[in-house]
A and B are shown apart, each in its own frame.
Chain A
Amino acid sequence: MHVVICIKQVPDTKNVRIDPKTNTLVRQGVESITNPFDLYAIEAALQLKDSTGAKTTVITMGPPQAEEALRQALSLGVDDAVLLSDRSFAGADTWATSRTLAEAVRKLEPVDLIVCGKQAIDGDTAQVGPEMATLLNLPCITYVRKLDLENGNESMRIERATDTGYEVLRVKLPAVLTVIREIGEPRIPGLRHKIRSKKQEIPVWGAADLGLEPEEVGLQGSFTQVVKVFSPPPRGERRLLSGSVEEMAKELVRILKSNNVPGF
């Protein structure tokens, strides 16, 4: 069994705060990290490696420094890594990204399962998993919280979260899954894998290696274009209530009643 994990390096938004005066992002000293949801994807793949001896390969598309994210995945126990990096990949939207990842997966075939995080925290689109699945003509189950192989690795029994609870599904393999936190907390790197991760060679594939023309990738290969970026409008009153807790409670109920909040 061969499991491919798709990950992304993103800016660490944990320490980012909104500047209340300018209402903009304070990005000073923000480092790059592996997208937190992708750590759950790595964990899901490693659980399959533990239980079935599956071979695991991690891929990412990004600038040369995205190699760090791949080395982190190797330190957690992933077997192999490939970096998809090419100047022509820059500025890709979800379509161009999916296209590039799909070609990389084809090059890694045979592949039984592809695991992604539910979305990346910088763009929050959640589109690359399903779009890549379509280009590979595979089913894609999103928001997966539990997975079990069945029928001699022919299919998988999946639990996926919905807006109102969850569903149990059976999906034929090969398939693409996007996973959420309930799949399992990421493990801690082991010493052996840590040492290996530092030395292991990571091949770099560019557009030509994937058989893609420069017009098919990056900004040129994208359908969507950003035409304007601006700060969101500030929120309303921002009023601190004053007085004793009883007075503030009274005032709050009055405000919420006058705003017709249901239940008040």
Chain B
Amino acid sequence: MKVIIDKNECTGCGSCVEVCPVEAINVVDEKAVVSDECTLCGMCVDSCEFEAISMPELTSKEEDLSLYQGVWFFAEQRGGEIHPISYELASTGRRLADKLEVELCGVLFGHGMEEAAKELIRYGTDRVFYVGREELEHFNEERYANVLTYLIENYKPEIFLAGATAIGRTFIPRVAASVKTGLTADCTGLDIGEDGLLHQTRPAFGGNVMATIICPHGRPQMATVRHKVMAACEIVDHQGVVEKIDVPEELLESRSELLEVIHEEDDTAQLTEAEVIISGGRGLQKAENFRLIEKLAKLVDGAVGASRSAVDAGWIAASHQVGQTGRTVAPTLYMACGISGAIQHIVGMQGSKIIVAVNKDPNAPIFDVADYGIVADLFEFVPALIKELESSSTCEID
């Protein structure tokens, strides 16, 4: 970006020299010349009565920006069921749309989901753009990206939110690159700043630093949002409409083809949706001892997590791994048993609402992030906890 002087139009009148706040313009041989001191403030552009000064990228983009209006979100579905992240996005989007006094629109791709689409209205959506096609029933990165890009280019929303799920993180970057705008990953906080821009806050460096990011010159301002970070709030009598959209056939072409979908058979490995996760680490000492963790998890209907060292030792399958190289989780309760708390593990679970740590070593770093710490041998504490739970549940029955 830079200031361009049209030498044919410039008369060397010097009015731009007068308005420049950083004295970056001089008149040389009756023509204005801009020096490196220029801060691209644009004052000179407006001052020139001969329209000899322009700042191409800035002026053209700034004009375009006002064409973009409304807050949009991507409503994710899996197997014809709307995923809970969609309601979280709707509620967050509602708050942003109210601040900007604009419409909140949801985008839903699927097949035979006309009725399900109405669910989004109950969470504050004014308009649901529903593209019902068999080709969109299951996720395909190219088709999803093509159709969403088409909708964004036609309707021009100013803000676009999507879930930071495996699906969102796969195709939303494609859309951002296609419409040529910025994208902020994994946001944990979103707000409208005094400048009217979307202020996107996200963790960086493994969650030890928070950064607020803006996208001043690209539209829409796009962000993916972590699941279970923002609350979903129903607005019972909210009114909205579902609009069915037809899209050109060629957008449904793809160079990849789905051959098979395999669901994890082990329910205790369904970590991302679990309300309670009981995790085991190196402190378990051997594979057989994971049964203790499994027993506790089963008792409270939770999932079984593991640290990388437990997975590396071959005590449990990799699908149970929590942390940087495993899954990122945010359950209501995360209970770490015999896990020392390497930063890579903490990164994957620090979004949990309540963290309980059980460890023999009072200096284990896991205690730094735990809400409740139990300095004890897990082989003594976990059985005691199981006993306590079993006896307290019998009491209730009595």
Residues of chain A touching chain B, judged by Cβ–Cβ distance below 8 Å, are 11, 13-14, 16-18, 20, 23-25, 36-37, 93-95, 98, 121-135, 139-143, 157, 161-172, 175, 180-182, 215, 220, 222-232, 235-241, 245-246, 248-250, 252-253, 255-256, 259, 261-264
Contact = CB atoms under 8 A, between A and B. Distances in A.
Contacts of B142: 139
B367 A240 contact: yes
A224 B199 contact: no
B215 A139 contact: no
Interface in B61-94: 78
Contacts of A164: 78, 263-264, 270, 272
Interface stretch (B29-37, B205-213, B243-251): B205-213
Nearest to B274: A262
Contacts of A128: 173
B159 to A, nearest CB: 14
Nearest to A122: B205
Given A133-B174, A215-B1, A223-B217, A165 B206 contact: no
A241 B214 CA distance: 43
Given A142-B166, A224-B214, 7 more contacts: A16-B205, A123-B185, A127-B183, A230-B209, A240-B372, A240-B373, A261-B354
A125 B203 CA distance: 10
A14 B371 contact: no
Contact of B318 (A13, A181, A253): A181
A222 B213 CA distance: 12
B216 A225 contact: yes
Nearest to A246: B384
A263 B296 CA distance: 10
A130 B325 CA distance: 19
Interface in B259-279: 259-264, 270, 272, 275-276
A249 B387 contact: yes
B299 interface: yes
Interface residues of B, number: 94
B371 A170 contact: no
A168 B262 contact: yes
A157 B257 CA distance: 10
Contact of B259 (A23, A36, A170): A170
B191 to A, nearest CB: 12
5 contacts: A124-B185, A129-B173, A141-B256, A230-B212, A249-B385
Nearest to A140: B141
B315 interface: no
A235 B264 CA distance: 33
B177 A167 contact: no
A164 B263 CA distance: 6
A17 B276 contact: no
B119 interface: no
B182 interface: yes
Contacts of A241: 372-374
Given A126-B169, A249-B387, A227 B213 contact: yes
B368 A18 contact: yes
Nearest to A174: B255
A154 to B, nearest CB: 11
Interface stretch (B20-28, B99-107, B375-383): B375-383
B177 A130 contact: yes
B392 A253 contact: yes
Contact of A226 (B141, B145, B212, B261): B212
Given A223-B181, A232-B207, A261 B1 contact: no
A249 B212 contact: no
B369 interface: yes
Nearest to A161: B166
Nearest to A126: B169
Interface in B194-209: 199, 203-209
A198 to B, nearest CB: 30
Contacts of B218: 223
B290 to A, nearest CB: 19
A227 B376 contact: no
A163 B213 contact: no
A226 B367 contact: no
B369 A235 contact: yes
Given A245-B384, A249-B387, A224 B215 contact: yes
A245 B216 CA distance: 56
Contacts of B126: none
Nearest to A157: B259
B166 A134 contact: no
Contact of A125 (B186, B302, B318, B342): B186
Contacts of A162: 166, 261
A169 B257 contact: yes
A121 B205 CA distance: 7
A175 B255 contact: yes
Interface in B166-185: 166-167, 169-171, 173-174, 176-178, 180-185
Nearest to B207: A232
A167 B272 contact: no
Contact of B255 (A95, A139, A223, A227): A139
Contacts of A161: 166
A226 B234 CA distance: 33
B365 interface: yes
B135 interface: no
Given A16-B343, A263-B299, A172 B211 contact: no
Contacts of B373: 238-241
Contacts of A23: 208
B237 interface: no
A99 B218 CA distance: 15
Closest 8 CB pairs of A and B: A223-B182, A263-B300, A134-B177, A130-B173, A224-B182, A125-B185, A223-B218, A228-B212
B173 A131 contact: yes
Contacts of A228: 211-212
Given A165-B261, A252-B372, A264-B300, A130 B141 contact: yes
Contacts of B173: 94, 126-131, 134
B263 A165 contact: yes
